Structure 1
Amino acid sequence: MLDPWIDAYAERTHGLTVSAVRALFSVANRPEVVSLAGGMPNIADLPREAIGEAMASLIRDRGTQAMQYGSGQGEPFMREQITEVMAEEGIAAHPDDLVVSCGSQQALDLVTRVFCDPGDVILAEAPSYVGAIGTFRAYQVQIVQVAMDDRGIVPQALREAIAACRAVGKRVKFLYTIPNFQNPTGVTQTVERRQELIEAAHELDILIVEDNPYGLLAIEGEPKPALRSMDDSRVVYLGSFSKTFAPGFRIGWALAPHAVREKLTLAQESATLAPPVFSQFAISTYLHQFDWRGQIQVYRDMYRARRDAMLQGLTENMPEGTTWTHPTGGFFVWVTLPEGLDSQAMLPRAVSARVAYVPGTAFFADGLGSRNMRLSFCFPPPERIIEGTRRLGEVLRDEIDTLRTFGIGSGSGGHLYRDITSGPAPDIT
């Protein structure tokens, strides 16, 4: 049906597109399909009955406060407790420098709105979080993705990308990075690489936006120090309770230098008046009355079993020529397919075989990633994960047999991580 308002929409709506992950929901949520697609946390191990009783007490005893308007910056008690959570990753913060948001996704939206005009450049890892790419496009900015390896962003590639942008008069507003168990690759920046990025930010005079929803979900070793713990002047830190508690409450936050925090608060007030007040009271109650650190350890153990099942299933079921990352936390594995396979073109066949994934092209702003796919291990139980990899392996082998039978060429290619350190410079015109 023709949209009668097509000529009335703002130009920025042209950047609004359906998320590749959301587009799969109707299919991936069918019970017969093993969904290795969405990054939905598994909250079955929460003490839901006890939490329910605490919420009932909250409404009974403090409902007139919890269900009222609140502060645009977020409730003071909530901001105080968030500083305690961030201390687990070495961050020393003052509650006044925090802005509570409706999930970290809204915090990212606010940061982008505050800093970016149409045509500005945002740097991001190649590949990067599909939700961030969607947000940046909505604000009509240009996304330049920077090469990464198994230690995170390559500092020399970052320097070259910034130099190339500035050489043609482009304004680079910030570097967006997910340092811990990155979405979609599962890669974690080493401490040395983090220090190099901080040094590069000072040298090149740029801001770093650190998105860290998975940092406390380390399943090998302890959480690494946040970038923000290394520098409080050039890092805006985004956090969330969606992965460490439950996503339905929609509470995240931004920790920013003081002047930036003031702008974010004004932007928050214009967007929502105040972040969800009842959700803040509910999460505060949870943090105060329950062993939230112990619950995070429960999550870590549960996700470790699922990660191990994913790696076992890939090892047992993937055809020769397939490679994948080995995450030490978080939710995701990044798979590189044998030469000639296209994850987007192959998706309907996979769904018919009752397994779902997210094609790699969703995580690039320029259409790369056809030989990649993101697999999520956070939600299905281990036996379903292994079954999903078995089904996926059969699909891959069928695709390879088809290529051999019909003599189809090798396709558009692809690599584990995009490499822009060689070859032509990124398109920044």
Structure 2
Amino acid sequence: MVTVSSTLSAALLQAHRRGPKKSLPAEVYSQFLSDAAKERKPSPIRGLYPLESRPGLISLLAGKPNATTFPLTSIQLKARSPTDPEQEITTDLSGNALAEGLQYGPTAGIPSLIEWVYGLQEKEHGRKKGEGWRVSIGSGSQDVIYKAVNAIFNLGDSLLVESPVYAGVIPMFTALRLDLVEVQTDSQGISSDSLRSVLENWPAGKPKPKALYTVPYGCNPTGMTATLERRREVLRLAREHNFLILEDDPYYYLYYGDAVRAPSYFSLELEQPEVGRVLRFDSLSKILSAGIRIGFLCGPDALMTVIDMHTAVASLQTPSLTQSIAFALLDAWGYAGFRAHTAAVSAFYRTKRDVFERAMRTHLAGLAEWDAPEAGMFFWFKLLVGSDTEEGDSESIIRTNAVERGVLALPGTVFLPNGRKTAYVRAAFSLLPPEEVEEAIKRLRDVILDAKKAQSV
């Protein structure tokens, strides 16, 4: 197995920086804000929270419950060692750390976890605290994606989306009746040629898109990872055509490709004359716990402010206790331990990928086409059930026939914004043991053969 470095080399970081970077002026972001975001006002209570830490100040501000009434006195966490799975690490959450987790906290996140994320983003992406961007913790990355989308778009605005696109965001886009403009993808990720063509042929008089939504590593559903050249071209186009990049990256730490992992958009924008066009969404769901619901957004101050205002009125904050639990574990590991853990996770999914592909080669050769994913937990494959003149349709084959045969997958149409028919299918390989993978692919083979037989009748 090829070991892939999870951090940028010092030489690459130096090349990226090329001296201090200028952030886009705060007033520039007004053009990207939705009408609702422009009307948001700071919480009259939460906006004053920072003053409570001023020495000598007696606060009569917040209606916080008295902590002496909370029954929890300590929480003990046991976790596998990131460097030796046979060993356990025990961490106690008590004292001030527990008190922080049991009480209301800052809207953007508890200070300890926020600081940990700043350190992580500097190590992974070369972005330093105090350079015009900041962090906001969300209840999973989907939470902060939703808030960012509502902060940027008005009803009917245009949004560039890679096609196929993660099905989980389509409902939030359609709820705003966004004009979803598809950008094609292939085995190298998003097609910068397709993006350039869309932008250069944009209808005169129609406002150009405010943003591009992309999943650059292990894209859900295709599993593809955008190459370095594609990413750089997308960044150039973002500056040329004045749009933001919504970098949804839940599979960044699940990269297991043979090539060295390409830098993120958040990192690569350091090569640009100015920074501040990338909003980066990270998640701990795939590497720590899906149920803990911790994700984080990093982006320019001006946009983060209105996103935090949304949180302040919607839920006040991401639960402090889950943040404290996550931080206690991450702090006990340290960044080296976190890196070791994520390397083990990516190796685990590479093995799962290989098992699944072996079964596909054995049973679906000549019946389906695919490119092996380089990250994530999905295969995206095309059923060879069409004719010479028309692509097949996986909808009824997968949604009805496959279920009757005892196997469940997703027809590709749910990942296409316009819902058109497609021969593609998404299959998840994250959970099944090898014997169930083998049986599932055998059943899919029978389904495809039945479809081809019916077509020839």
Cα separation, 2, equivalents of 1:143 and 1:118: 12
The alpha-carbon deviation at position 280 of structure 1 amounts to 0.8
Q: Partner residue of 2:355?
A: 309
Q: 1:103 to 1:325 in 2, by over 3 A?
A: same
Contact 1:361 1:367 (C-alpha < 8 Å) held by counterparts: yes
Cα separation, 1, equivalents of 2:351 and 2:80: 15
Q: Partner residue of 2:98?
A: 63
Cα separation, 1, equivalents of 2:81 and 2:373: 22
Cα separation, 2, equivalents of 1:151 and 1:319: 22
Cα separation, 1, equivalents of 2:87 and 2:421: 43
Residues 28-48 of structure 1 deviation map (CA, whole Å, 9 limit, x = unaligned):
xxxxxxxxxxxxxxx999979
Cα separation, 2, equivalents of 1:60 and 1:83: 24
Cα separation, 2, equivalents of 1:89 and 1:133: 29
Q: Partner residue of 1:110?
A: 147
Q: 1:316 to 1:117 in 2, by over 3 A?
A: same
Cα separation, 2, equivalents of 1:185 and 1:45: 32
Cα separation, 2, equivalents of 1:240 and 1:206: 24
Q: Partner residue of 2:244?
A: 207
Cα separation, 1, equivalents of 2:95 and 2:374: 42
Q: What TM-score, normalized by structure 1, do the two folds share?
A: 0.79
Cα separation, 2, equivalents of 1:108 and 1:330: 19
Q: Partner residue of 1:32?
A: none
Question: Does residue 365 of the first structure (1) align with residue 417 of the second (2)?
Answer: yes
Q: 1:45 to 1:322 in 2, by over 3 A?
A: farther
Structure 2 residue corresponding to 1:342, chosen from 393, 411, 416: 393
Q: 1:355 to 1:242 in 2, by over 3 A?
A: same
Q: Partner residue of 2:72?
A: none
Question: Does residue 173 of the first structure (1) align with residue 210 of the second (2)?
Answer: yes
Residues 169-200 of structure 1 deviation map (CA, whole Å, 9 limit, x = unaligned):
14411000111111110111110111111111
Q: Partner residue of 2:160?
A: 123
* Corresponding residue SS for 1:213: coil
Q: Partner residue of 1:279?
A: 322
Contact 1:104 1:253 (C-alpha < 8 Å) held by counterparts: yes
The alpha-carbon deviation at position 84 of structure 1 amounts to 3.1
Task: Judge which range, 175-184 or 148-157, deviates more.
Answer: 148-157
1:381-392 maps to which residues of 2 (within 5 A)? 381-392=433-444
The alpha-carbon deviation at position 201 of structure 1 amounts to 0.6
Q: 1:224 to 1:403 in 2, by over 3 A?
A: same
Q: Partner residue of 2:45?
A: none
Contact 2:245 2:277 (C-alpha < 8 Å) held by counterparts: yes
Contact 1:319 1:396 (C-alpha < 8 Å) held by counterparts: no
Cα separation, 2, equivalents of 1:49 and 1:141: 50
Q: Partner residue of 2:369?
A: 323
The alpha-carbon deviation at position 259 of structure 1 amounts to 1.1
The alpha-carbon deviation at position 368 of structure 1 amounts to 2.5
- The residue type equivalent to 1:396 in the other structure is I
Q: Partner residue of 2:60?
A: none
Question: Larger relative CO (CA 8 A, sep 6+): 1 or 2?
Answer: 1
The alpha-carbon deviation at position 288 of structure 1 amounts to 1.1
1:9-28 maps to which residues of 2 (within 5 A)? none
Cα separation, 2, equivalents of 1:122 and 1:45: 43
Residues 326-368 of structure 1 deviation map (CA, whole Å, 9 limit, x = unaligned):
1112111111111434221012221122211111001011122
Contact 1:128 1:364 (C-alpha < 8 Å) held by counterparts: yes
Contact 1:79 1:98 (C-alpha < 8 Å) held by counterparts: yes
Q: What TM-score, normalized by structure 2, do the two folds share?
A: 0.74
Q: Partner residue of 1:377?
A: 429
Q: Partner residue of 2:25?
A: none
- The residue type equivalent to 2:129 in the other structure is H
Q: 1:401 to 1:314 in 2, by over 3 A?
A: same
Q: Partner residue of 1:420?
A: none
1:17-416 maps to which residues of 2 (within 5 A)? 50=88, 54=91, 57-58=92-93, 62-87=97-122, 89-94=124-129, 97-221=134-258, 222-231=260-269, 232-290=275-333, 291-318=337-364, 320-340=366-386, 341-346=392-397, 347-405=399-457
The alpha-carbon deviation at position 166 of structure 1 amounts to 4.5
The alpha-carbon deviation at position 275 of structure 1 amounts to 1.1
Larger Rg: 2
Q: 1:382 to 1:48 in 2, by over 3 A?
A: same
| Matched pairs, number | 360
Cα separation, 1, equivalents of 2:238 and 2:400: 43
Cα separation, 2, equivalents of 1:387 and 1:84: 45
Cα separation, 1, equivalents of 2:314 and 2:433: 38
The alpha-carbon deviation at position 89 of structure 1 amounts to 3.5
Cα separation, 2, equivalents of 1:317 and 1:168: 52
Task: Judge which range, 235-244 or 317-326, deviates more.
Answer: 317-326
The alpha-carbon deviation at position 148 of structure 1 amounts to 1.4
* Corresponding residue SS for 1:256: strand
The gaps in structure 1 that reach 5 residues or longer are 1-42, 406-429
The alpha-carbon deviation at position 298 of structure 1 amounts to 2.1
Q: Partner residue of 1:22?
A: none
Q: Partner residue of 1:15?
A: none
Q: 1:114 to 1:203 in 2, by over 3 A?
A: same
- The residue type equivalent to 2:410 in the other structure is V
Q: 1:313 to 1:97 in 2, by over 3 A?
A: same
The alpha-carbon deviation at position 88 of structure 1 amounts to 5.0
The RMSD of aligned alpha carbons is: 2.3
Cα separation, 1, equivalents of 2:127 and 2:96: 33
Contact 1:71 1:274 (C-alpha < 8 Å) held by counterparts: yes
Cα separation, 2, equivalents of 1:300 and 1:369: 33
- The residue type equivalent to 1:378 in the other structure is S
